[in-house]
Amino acid sequence: MSTRTVELTEATQSLAEYAQQVDDGVIIVTRNGRPIAAVVALPNTDTETVTLSQHPQFLAIIERSRARQAQEGGISNAEMRRRFSDTPTLDETRP
């Protein structure tokens, strides 16, 4: 993964041109040497994932869930699979 830095006053290319140059890395845009934005490659993702990854309420829900899991524990993947294998699917419950 490559990282490139471009000072805002020197960023003369269009956003589309920078996006084509990203490949699997990142281009960091700086103002007076401080990062203010980035153009990042997003392989194997979708718009919903990107949006949720920056949404404060969603991130708070995830953090609360992780804290609860750490404090109270949970069930293993094997137990979850066992529970779902014993549950009829929607098609199996229809007459």
* pLDDT tens digits for range 22-73: 887 899 999 999 999 999 988 888 999 989 988 999 999 999 999 998 898 8
- Identify the residue with better confidence: 3 or 86: 3
Backbone angles phi, psi at 34, to 5 degrees: -105, 135
- Model pTM? 0.56
* Distance, first Cα to last Cα, the chain: 54
Which among 29, 37, 28, 31 has a CA at the least distance from the CA of 2?
28
β partners of residue 30: 7, 35
**pLDDT class for 78, splitting at 50, 70, 90?**
confident
Backbone angles phi, psi at 2, to 5 degrees: -105, 150
How far is CA 61 from each of CA 47, 51, 53, 64, 69, rounded to the nearest angstrom?
19, 15, 12, 5, 12
